[in-house]
Amino acid sequence: MQSFKRNILITGGAGFIGSHVVRLFVNKYPDYQIINLDKLTYAGNLANLEDVEKSANYRFVKADICDIEAMRQLFAEYHVDGVIHLAAESHVDRSIKDPFTFAQTNVMGTLTLLQAAKEAWGESYEGKRFYHISTDEVYGTLEFDGTFFTETTKYDPHSPYSASKASSDHFVRAFHDTYGMPVVVTNCSNNYGPYQFPEKLIPLFINNIRNGKSLPVYGKGENVRDWLYVVDHARAIDLIFHEGKIAETYNIGGFNEWKNIDLIKVIIKTVDKLLGNPEGHSLGLITYVTDRAGHDLRYAIDSTKLKDELGWEPSLQFEEGIEKTVRWYLDNQGWMDRITSGEYENYYAEMYRNR
Ligand code: NAD
Ligand code: DAU
Residue percentage of the chain with pLDDT more than 90: 95
Active site residue 161: yes
Q: How confident is the model at residue 312 (pLDDT cuts 50, 70, 90)?
A: very high
Residue 89 annotated as catalytic: no
Would you place residue 337 in the very low, low, confident or very high pLDDT band (cuts 50, 70, 90)? very high
pLDDT surpasses 60 at 92? yes
How far is C-alpha 338 from the chain's CA centre?
A: 21
Please give all residues whose beta carbon lies within 6 A of any atom in ligand 2, as ranges.
Answer: 90-92, 135-137, 189-190, 200-201, 204, 216-218, 223, 225, 260, 292, 299
Q: Give yes or no for residue 354 having a pLDDT over 50.
A: no
Res. 351: pLDDT tops 60: no
State the DSSP code for 149.
Answer: B
Mean pLDDT value of segment 102-113? 98
Amino acid at 47: A
Q: Using one digit for the tens of pLDDT, what is the confidence trace for 317-334? A: 999 999 999 999 999 999
Q: Calculate mean pLDDT across residues 58-72.
A: 98
Domains of the chain with CATH codes: 6-193+229-254+295-316 (3.40.50.720)
List the alpha helices (DSSP H) in the chain. Answer: 16-28, 68-78, 92-97, 99-102, 110-121, 160-179, 201-210, 230-243, 260-275, 304-310, 318-331, 333-340, 344-353
Instruction: Give the Å distances, CA to CA, from 57 to 32, 48, 63, 210, 318.
Output: 7, 17, 19, 38, 33
pLDDT tens readout for residues 248-276 = 999 999 999 999 999 999 999 999 999 99
CB 110 within 8 A of CB 172: yes
Which ligand places an atom closest to the C-alpha of 86? Answer: 1
Radius of gyration of the chain (CA): 20
- pLDDT above 80 for 355: no
CA distance 60 to 194: 21
Please confirm, yes or no, whether 151 is among the known catalytic residues: no
| Set 64, 81, 89, 137: catalytic member | 137
- Helix, strand, or coil (residue 98): coil
Helix (H) or strand (E) holding 226: strand 224-229
Rounded CA-CA distance 119/113 in Å is 10
Give 107 Cα–ligand 1 centroid separation in angstroms. Answer: 13
* pLDDT tens string 176-231: 999 999 999 999 999 999 999 999 999 999 999 999 999 999 999 999 999 999 99
CB neighbourhood size of 15 (10 A): 25
**What's the average model confidence in pLDDT over 148-167?**
98
- CA of 92 from ligand 2 middle (Å) equals 7
Position 123 scores a pLDDT of 81
pTM: predicted TM-score of the whole model, two decimal places:
0.97
